[in-house]
């Protein structure tokens, strides 16, 4: 994809390294929107104000947004602050309202539920054909990288060159401490495939609680994401949606001051040399790991043949339990994470069973 960098989307973004987007989950009242925006505008790092005016909710009878009436509120935000504005769109009708009010909206984003439906994305893409407006695409609810890429490709095919992605985590089927599973490997893979694609992180939706936002945001910056989208409300306790994951503007300011913003490009020769030394050690160990795995699979193949000759099933529950128990204990003594050990062993065991059968 031949994409336009974020710092060339608007003049207000020309001097940024990482873009910071902040604002309430939902635009609830004109006063709430303006008060939040004015307080956020005092934070130098924030350049874009976000607000949901159409809210796709999982179940009916929840607050589903003010709708197009709130576009006038965003126009007032632009008039009274130095902030750009961003809204979520889910239908061609939403886009039509935004395009008819260019003084209200600068940037669009497509939400996770919409990204999961190629028909909806295609309709949105057709509505944006020939339009020069930046569009972010959130990852789908499920960890499907192809689906995420497909949504981006549909928009690119109709001429959207100011295109970015938002990593907001993936719906967990099991209970975890976060609202959504980060699965960092997926946005990293997306960046590897499309190096010029801006990817920002939404720590609010991954966290679900404000207490986890700093941890997630710092991780995103550490892997060189291009910015953050953080839900911010002038009075989160009275928010009509996602109250527990919204910061106040003061809390946002404090958070941004604590975060360490990193650079991908380093021009310090001593740092470059040290980085290279670490990387050479990692490269050497990676190749050793692959050699050991190859030897293991050779033995697994011989074992599979032996089992077949003697009519023994490939999967042995007692043996698998012993592997899990003994390797986990050994790995924990070495300081490895328990979940990492289990996931690694399960992956290797699955491949071993396939090899034997």
Q: What is the pLDDT of residues 34-61, one digit of tens each?
A: 999 999 999 999 999 999 999 776 677 7
What CATH superfamily is the domain 269-356? Chorismate mutase (1.20.59.10)
Mean pLDDT for all residues in the chain: 92
pLDDT of residue 53: 94
Q: pLDDT at position 268, please? A: 66
Residue with tokens 């197009």: 68
Q: What is the CA radius of gyration of the chain?
A: 24
Residue 115, judged by CB atoms within 10 A of its CB (0-12, 13-18, 19+), counts as buried
For residues 217 and 24, the answer to whether their CB atoms sit within 8 Å is no
pLDDT digits (tens, 9 = 90+) for 182-204: 989 999 999 989 999 999 999 99
pLDDT of residue 265: 54
Looking at the chain, the domain(s) classified CATH 3.20.20.70 span 6-258
**In the prediction, which pLDDT does 281 show?**
83
- Residue limits of CATH 1.20.59.10 in the chain: 269-356
pLDDT of residue 209: 95
CATH architecture of residue range(s) 6-258:
Alpha-Beta Barrel (3.20)
DSSP character at residue 2: -
Give SS3 for 246: coil
pLDDT of residue 238: 93
pLDDT tier for residue 322 given thresholds of 50, 70 and 90: very high
Average pLDDT for 198-216: 95
Look at residue 266 in the predicted model and tell me its pLDDT: 57
DSSP-derived secondary structure letter, 209: S
Give the pLDDT confidence of 255-310 residue by residue, as tens digits.
Answer: 999 998 876 555 667 777 777 778 888 888 888 899 899 999 999 999 999 998 99
pLDDT at 127 over 70: yes
pTM score, whole prediction: 0.78
- What pLDDT score was predicted for residue 267? 62
pLDDT exceeding 70 applies to what percent of the chain? 98
- Model confidence at 173: pLDDT above 80: no
pLDDT of residue 264: 56
Number of Cβ within a 10 Å radius of residue 330: 11
């Amino acid at each position: 994809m031949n994409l336009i960098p974020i710092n060339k989307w608007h003049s207000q973004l020309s001097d940024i390294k990482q873009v910071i987007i902040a604002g309430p989950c939902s635009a609830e009242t004109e006063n709430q929107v303006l008060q939040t925006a004015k307080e956020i505008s005092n934070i130098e790092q924030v350049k874009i104000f976000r607000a949901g005016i159409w809210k796709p909710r999982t179940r009916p009878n929840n607050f589903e947004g003010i709708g197009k009436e709130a576009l006038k509120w965003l126009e007032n935000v632009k008039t009274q602050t130095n902030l750009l504005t961003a809204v979520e769109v889910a239908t061609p009708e939403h886009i039509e309202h935004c395009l008819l009010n260019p003084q209200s909206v600068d940037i669009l984003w497509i939400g996770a539920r919409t990204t999961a439906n190629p028909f909806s994305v295609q309709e949105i893409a057709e509505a944006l054909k020939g339009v020069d407006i930046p569009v972010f695409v959130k990852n789908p609810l499920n960890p499907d990288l192809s689906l995420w890429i497909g949504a981006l490709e549909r928009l690119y095919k109709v001429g959207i060159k100011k295109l970015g992605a938002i990593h907001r985590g993936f719906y967990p089927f099991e209970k975890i401490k976060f609202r959504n599973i980060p699965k960092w490997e997926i946005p990293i893979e997306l960046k590897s495939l499309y190096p010029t694609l801006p990817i920002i992180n939404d720590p609010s939706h991954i966290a679900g609680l404000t207490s986890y936002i700093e941890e997630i945001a710092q991780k995103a910056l550490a892997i060189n994401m291009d910015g953050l989208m953080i839900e911010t409300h002038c009075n989160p306790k009275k928010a009509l949606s996602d109250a527990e994951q919204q910061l106040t503007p003061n809390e946002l300011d404090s958070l941004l001051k604590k975060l360490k913003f990193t650079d991908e490009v380093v021009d310090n020769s001593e740092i470059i040399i040290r980085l290279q030394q670490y990387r050479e050690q990692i490269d050497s160990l990676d190749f050793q790991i692959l050699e050991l795995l190859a030897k293991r699979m050779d033995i697994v193949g011989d074992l599979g043949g032996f089992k077949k000759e003697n009519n023994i099933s490939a999967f042995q529950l007692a043996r698998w339990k012993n592997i899990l128990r003994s390797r986990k204990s050994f790995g924990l003594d070495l300081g490895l994470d328990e979940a990492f050990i289990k996931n690694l062993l399960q992956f290797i065991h699955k491949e071993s069973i396939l090899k034997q059968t």
